[in-house]
A = this chain, B = another copy of it.
Amino acid sequence: MTGRQVPPGPVGADDRAPGTTPGQPLPAATVARLPGYLHALDAVRGAGAALVTSERLAQAAGVTPAQLRKDLSFLGSYGRRGVGYDVDHLAGRIAAVLGVATTRAVVVVGVGHLGHALATYGGFAERGFTLAGLVDADPAVIGTRVGGLVVEPPAALMALVMRTGATIGVVATPAHAAQDAADALVASGVTGILTFAPRALRVPPNVEVRAVDVASELQILAFHASRHA
């Protein structure tokens, strides 16, 4: 069956995230906005502020204050009228809900230009992730060092995932190799896959798939551009 490419609806009460209000499901759309709030809180903290109003935080995250307050109310975080939110406390709460309060290991399958870009992107550590391993099927690439890691062959993937405790895999292969890469990641035990390949991946129901499809993003922009034309 096809994996869920888009969070389809409210997360059921039985699947409730740690740190959320009992009995209150956490909508998938809210989950999708939490990383933005966490990123905005990091920026606020970097500017030296200990408190932040919903207006300022909403602006930094690119949402309306009403949307922000509603989303945070699902976490039981309401802020104080006229004072705002405690930056450290709120950031810790969101990180706990997202499961990134501790660092998570990520493995990347496919070390072409895109895999290179991911491996040399410096921003993972500050967002709660460690790039733990790189895998590619090309004998000319295996054994080379990229972003401080030695590229390993597909046969080493399961050992790599077990050694590093990786729970998330990134598919950065060409489209024709994406399903094989996803199958190998699932077999090795990861439960989350981020794919850049422009095709739907088949995964078991317990595995979550997020797809970044550049052409789809461009088509959404085209819709807005055609309204301007």
Task: List the interface of chain A (C-beta within 8 A of B).
Answer: 2-8, 15, 17-18, 31-36, 38-39, 59-64, 67, 97-100, 104, 106, 112-114, 116-118, 120-121, 123-124, 127-129, 167-168, 175, 191-194, 198, 200, 206, 208, 210, 212-229
A114 CA / B4 CA spacing, docked (Å)? 26
In the bound complex, do residue A221 and residue B200 qualify as a contact, i.e. CB atoms below 8 Å apart?
no
Given A39-B213, A167-B222, 5 other A-B residues pairs in contact with their CB atoms under 8 A: A123-B198, A129-B222, A167-B225, A167-B228, A212-B212
Q: Point out which of A34, A97, A121, A194 has the most chain B C-beta atoms below 10 A from its C-beta.
A: A121
Looking at the complex, which one of B63, B168, B228 makes contact with A191 (CB distance below 8 Å)? B228
- A198: chain B residues at CB < 8 Å are 39, 123, 127
| Complex contacts, A124 vs chain B, CB 8 Å | 215, 218
Q: In the complex the two chains form, is A120's CB within 8 Å of B113's CB?
A: yes
B6 touches A227 (CB 8 A): no
Chain B residues in 8 Å Cβ range of A39: 198, 213, 215-216
A35-B220 contact in complex given A8-B63, A168-B225, C-beta closer than 8 Å: yes
What's the least CB distance linking A149 to chain B, in Å?
15
Q: Are A2 and B221 in contact (CB under 8 A)?
A: no
Which residues of chain B have C-beta atoms less than 8 A from A217's C-beta? 35, 194, 210, 212
The contact of A192 among B5, B15, B194, B225, by CB within 8 Å, is B225
Whether A106 and B218, one on each chain, are in contact in the complex, defined by CB atoms closer than 8 angstroms, is yes
Q: Which residues of B are found within 8 Å of A128, using beta-carbon distances?
A: 215, 218-219, 222
Q: Check A210–B219 contact: CB distance below 8 A.
A: no
Contact residues in B for A60 (Cβ distance below 8 Å): 2, 200
